[in-house]
A and B are shown apart, each in its own frame.
Chain A
Amino acid sequence: MGDMTGLLEQRRRLLRDTVALRQTQRVPVVPLANAFTVKVVGVSLKDFCADPVLAYETIIQGLTSLGEIDATQQPGYSPWLLQLLWNSRVKVPGVDLPDDTLWQVEELELITPEDYDTIIDGGYGAFLERFYAETLGDPLVKVGPYMESAPAAVAAWEAKGLPVLASGVVTIPFEALCGGRSLRAFVLDLIRMPDRVQAAMDAMMPAMIEGARGMLRAFPTAMGVWVGGWRTASQFLSPTLWERFVFPYYTTMVDVVLEEGGIPVLHFDANWNRDLERLRELPAKKCILSTDGATNIRRAKELLGDRMCLMGDTPAPLLTLGTPDEVYDYASALIRDLGPTGFILSSGCDIPYSAQIENVRALIAAAND
């Protein structure tokens, strides 16, 4: 245990130094995996989804069996978390889908324009109480077992000398509304009723900020949280919409995470190329920008290399269809081009369920050779 505590501290220091853009001896590797580890360990997706303790044990066993990693991005997983994140329905194996089919988010117009007024008038908390009960079928009950297991999950990683980079996920009102409204309808709302949507977003922020603070305080040993961005990516929105409905809210959320002493891990999927330079306005040497292969990570290094640590970005198709040599070469090139300071090697978003096990082994090996 003593050795593990020392190793845990050593790895935390490596990550903290990397985030602060200080010189390190090597580039850390922190892949993100959930469903993929089911294949490595040999459990069913249905059981993985039904039992959050089995889920985190599977992730720990699966990832650590493929090489030496430096941390985990998240302590565990439950697909029900996606319901809370995006106010969407989720289809889950063993419940709505065959036992070995991957969970999927069902994008429906569950939130209506009238709901903006409800949020403005009564606050986000009151809206969610009704929305959860009437529309999502008590997601808090479904996610309860995961919440209960999370402290033990963090402890289990740390007992292996592996820090937990992010205790959970926070985001901004755009994502929560867009998920529940559907992208097409929400974009039309942003254009046709911008003031109403913005008023709703502003009314949501106090509850979302409180939630973020609560998450950081509940897991004091975790190093930070994800500040997630999916449909907020530059590729989806005009600069006018992005500047009004996206960036100011991220700025606030990043400040909240930093105030609580956490590292904001900007988990930004899809293509953010157009607005990379705007991220220079976030506090220097405090954040991680994590991209999934759609953003040009080398361009991000040019624009943000003196301001922000980058993490990524081995693409899902490469991990699925590539060879171990191709993955190794891709990851080695990332280390060469983006390291040695301010870079964490990772998968782009999570390692897909369909990834080849030897490809993931090659990814991890690239950081250790």
Chain B
Amino acid sequence: MTTHVLVQALGDLEEAAVLEQVQRELADGVPALTVLEELQKGMVLVGERFECDEYFLSELIFAADIFKQANSYLAIDLEQRAGRMIGAMVLGTVKNDIHDFGKDIVGMVLRSNGIEVVDLGVNVGYERFVEAVEEHKPGLVGISCLLTTVYEDMKATIDALKAAGLRDQVKILIGGGPTDQVVADYVGADACCRNAQEAVDAAKRLLGVG
């Protein structure tokens, strides 16, 4: 029943209990990949509680931080870890915008929900998105912004992906303070996410695993 204990502890945001339980399970010989899977189930529980207004962004941030700490105990190589991930996203704040707090939080929460994130940083040029999609071949692209002045840059980024023949290979999510469905339609994105949990849900839906 160790699975239930760890999942529940992370779902309940019991930081010390999560870290103790992870170490106990590893000492008992539970495979690291199994522990990782339990932690990911714990994050699903956190997400469910967020969706029914039991948790808020503060709890998502805390849960993702606990997950990150717990993860540091797991000696899993990149190849094995990749096998446990449900998808990948190239993520960045669009050109001409240097805000990163929303992007960083979304990236952290996505990672703890089994989505590999390639973070390109802020003020990311259109071609950089194209290069990253060519290099990493993710199923998802995430574009963040906090300024209404960069809608055109979001559109130009997506147009650049179209011009490179990559648009059909990725689903594109946008997010950030001044974005909504109207903006998503205008720039040609597949979804607009109002918060980190919506990003997780949209990512899973668009990857066909949610």
Contact = CB atoms under 8 A, between A and B. Distances in A.
Interface in A297-353: 315-322, 352-353
A191 B65 CA distance: 12
A187 B183 contact: no
B80 interface: no
Nearest to B147: A102
A236 B197 CA distance: 12
Contacts of B146: 104
A241 to B, nearest CB: 6
19 contacts: A104-B98, A104-B146, A104-B147, A184-B61, A184-B65, A184-B101, A187-B58, A187-B61, A234-B56, A235-B56, A235-B57, A237-B58, A241-B58, A270-B177, A316-B178, A317-B182, A318-B182, A320-B148, A353-B149
B196 to A, nearest CB: 11
A182 interface: yes
Interface in B25-74: 53, 55-59, 61-62, 65
B99 A274 contact: no
Interface string A57-97: 00000000000000000000000000000000001000000
Contact of B149 (A107, A182, A274, A354): A354
Given A184-B65, A238-B55, A321-B186, 11 more contacts: A91-B98, A104-B99, A105-B99, A187-B58, A236-B57, A238-B56, A316-B178, A317-B178, A317-B182, A321-B151, A354-B151
Nearest to A106: B98
B96 interface: yes
A317 B179 contact: yes
A44 B167 CA distance: 36
Interface residues of B, number: 31
B190 interface: no
A182 B62 contact: no
Interface of A: 91, 101-102, 104-107, 182-184, 187-188, 190-191, 234-239, 241, 270, 274, 315-322, 352-355
A102 B56 contact: no
Interface string B84-127: 00000000000011111100110010000000000000000000
Given A321-B151, A321-B186, A354-B151, A315 B180 contact: yes
B111 to A, nearest CB: 13
A258 B105 CA distance: 37
A104 B177 CA distance: 14
Given A102-B149, A354-B148, A236 B101 contact: no
A34 B21 CA distance: 54
Q: Return the 10 tightest CB-CB contacts between A and B, nearest first.
A: A352-B148, A354-B148, A354-B149, A236-B57, A320-B148, A187-B58, A316-B178, A107-B101, A187-B61, A316-B148
Contacts of A105: 99
B203 to A, nearest CB: 20
A236 B99 contact: no
Nearest to A318: B182
Nearest to B148: A352
A191 B62 contact: yes
A238 B59 contact: yes
B58 A191 contact: yes
Given A104-B97, A237-B56, A321-B183, A187 B148 contact: no
A243 to B, nearest CB: 12
A104 B57 CA distance: 23
Query: Which of the listed residues B100, B146, B180 has the most CB atoms from chain A within 10 Å of its own CB?
Result: B180
Nearest to B150: A354
B178 A352 contact: yes
B71 to A, nearest CB: 16
